Structure formats: structure tokens, C-alpha cells
């Protein structure tokens, strides 16, 4: 972290509080913490050290079949212009998550 700006200092304070909270849970296992991110590479390594985050579950970006289904779900109640070809979006090489498609 580069905690020179007010925003950066707030991010650092928030991260430190999160780390303190994660370290404060006892080992009884009755507390489960679920974290989610679209950018795991940008997380502070201190957050990912063993004992804080014990399990990572990755949800990969949708494949072509799944992208097609997501587009169908989100456009099923829409009236699309004649020149809209959803298949062009489905087949794009860009990497879109389900949230991006929505």
C-alpha cells in the first residue's frame, strides 16, 4: 500500500481491520467468512496467508455455451432490434463474466 492519500489511508485502515477480525476468530469453526473478488491478483498477500483464508473456490469465466444461456436469460423479455445479433456477443473473444454480460 501507498498510504499517502486520504483514500489510500482509508483502504489501509479497512484492510487492517479486516485482518484483525479474521485473526480474532477462534478455532472452534463456528464462524465462516466468505469473501468474493473479481481481481484476486490485486488482494494484499497478507489476506491470503494460511490460517486466514483456508479455501479458495474459483468460478471461471463462462464458456460459449454458458455465455449464450446468460444472454438468453437476460434478453428473453426484451424486444431486440433486427440488427442485433446476440451470437456476435456470444462468440466474442473478450472475457466476460456473467455480471459483465448482464
> Model confidence over 41-78: pLDDT tens digits?
888 888 888 878 778 888 889 999 999 999 999 999 99
Domain range summary for the chain, segments of one domain joined by +: 6-48, 64-101
Q: Full-prediction pTM beyond 0.85?
A: no
Are the C-beta atoms of residues 17 and 47 closer than 8 Å to each other? no
Vertex 11 angle, CA 10 and 16, to 5° = 95
Q: How far is CA 33 from CA 18, 62, 102, in A?
A: 11, 25, 27
The count of C-alpha atoms lying within 13 angstroms of the C-alpha of 24, restricted to the half-sphere facing its C-beta, is 6
Secondary structure of 50-67 as H, E, C letters? CCCCCCCCCCCCCCHHHH
pLDDT grade, residue 84 (50/70/90)? very high
Amino acid at each position: 500500500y501507498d498510504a499517502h492519500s486520504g483514500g489510500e489511508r482509508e483502504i489501509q485502515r479497512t484492510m487492517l481491520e479486516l485482518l484483525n477480525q479474521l485473526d480474532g476468530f477462534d478455532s472452534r469453526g463456528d464462524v465462516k467468512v466468505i469473501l468474493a473478488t473479481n481481481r484476486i491478483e490485486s488482494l494484499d498477500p497478507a489476506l491470503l496467508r494460511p490460517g486466514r483464508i483456508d479455501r479458495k473456490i474459483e468460478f471461471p469465466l463462462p464458456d460459449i455455451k454458458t455465455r449464450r444461456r446468460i444472454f438468453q436469460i437476460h434478453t428473453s423479455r426484451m424486444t431486440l432490434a433486427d440488427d442485433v445479433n446476440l451470437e456476435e456477443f456470444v462468440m466474442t473473444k473478450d472475457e466476460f463474466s456473467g455480471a459483465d454480460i448482464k
